Structures are given as C-alpha cells and as structure tokens.
Amino acid sequence: MSPSETAPATSKGARGYSWPPFQPGNALSRKHGLYSRFQMLEGKEEIGEIAHVLRGLLPLYASAFEVGIQLLSARLWRLRRAYEFIEKTPEGEIPPKFLESLNALENLVNRSIARLGLDPVSAAELGVSLSRLAAGSEDGTPPFQWSNLDGKERRTLERLLAKGRRTDDGE
C-alpha cells in the first residue's frame, strides 16, 4: 500500500499544507514579461503623455512610427520607475541583476531614440535638417508641423515628396 493510500484525506494536499487561493489581480504566478502590460495600467496616462511629447519631438512623423513611439514611451516610463527605485534603495541593497537589467533597458532606449531620429546623428542620417525645421520658412511663417496633418494628408505629402525627388531617368 502506498503512503498516499494510507494517509488520511485532508483538504491540505499531500504535503499537509496549502497556500491560500489566488485573489483577483494577483501577480504571483506571472513568469514572463509578456504579461507586464497589467503592471503598465498604473502608468497608462503617463505613458500616453510621454508618447505625445515624443510625437512633437520627431523631426518627421508617419503613422508607421507609432509602434516605436509607444514602445519607447513605455520603456522611458519603466526607466523612470527604475531610477526612482534606485534613489529610494540603499546602495548595498540593490540587486546586481536589477542593475544589469537597467543597463540593458538604457541601451534599448538609446537604440529606440536613434531609430526614431531623435538624436543628431540619426536625424542627419535621415536627411533632416533640424535647424531648417526649427527655423521655419524664410518668409517668417511658423515652422512646418507634420503632427498637424491627418494620416491621409501625410501619405499624400509623402507621395508628392517622393515624386519630387525622382530624377528624369526614373531613379
């Protein structure tokens, strides 16, 4: 006869104890970052504000950038929270793995900033003259704002600009 057959039947399982049942909204069983969106709910408004600021900083805006903008906004929000944690935690108590993850997040944020053309080198690679965009036109009119155009207007303008860049031999 096996021990499980001789043991008295209890509601506490084979080990003689059990954990309390999970409550709604628990995060104890979360094992993967895919589910971190539930943690982002607390910063959803702040992430939206960061995204709005980023849209205004972009040298050029296209709807295709929106995914990158949203990801960068969430990463900046996480980075801000990490710095707040470091500020509140005594130096010797910060886990080394946390600092490694923070370094990886900082590198990811830097790459995201470059991909969106928000640093001078990547903006130059995109062929954008930031001083020209900031100055506006020579006749004193305000600078051109891509963000004032809706999606259809942006696509039309992008198509016209591409057509204007073509040479006579079709390149």
Q: How many domains does the chain have?
A: 1
Domain presence at residue 5: no
Exposure string for 67-104, b = 16+ CB within 10 A, e = fewer:
eebebbbbbbbbeeebeeeeeeeeeeeeeeeeeeebee
On whether residue 74 sits in a domain, the answer given is yes
Nearest to 42 by CA among 78, 71, 67, 68: 78
**Confidence band for 137, pLDDT divided at 50, 70 and 90:** low
Residue 77 lies in a domain: yes
> pLDDT category, 130, cuts 50, 70, 90?
very low
Give the residue among 160, 140, 139 at the shortest CA–CA distance from 149: 160
pLDDT at residue 50, as a whole number:
93
Phi-psi category of residue 136: left, alpha or beta, with phi > 0 → left and psi -120 to 50 → alpha: left
For residue 61, is it within any domain? Answer: yes
pLDDT, position 73: 93
Helices (H), 58-150: 66-88, 96-115, 120-125, 130-135
Residue 79 has pLDDT above 70, yes or no: yes
The answer to whether residue 92 sits within a structural domain is yes
78: domain range?
A: 35-129
What confidence category does residue 76 fall into, taking pLDDT thresholds of 50, 70 and 90? very high
In this structure, is residue 40 part of a structural domain? yes
Distance CA 161, CA 67 (A): 24
Residue 31: pLDDT over 70? no
Confidence band for 72, pLDDT divided at 50, 70 and 90: very high
Say what the pLDDT of residue 83 is. 92
Q: What is the pLDDT of residue 105?
A: 92
The pTM score is 0.54
Does residue 68 form part of some domain?
A: yes
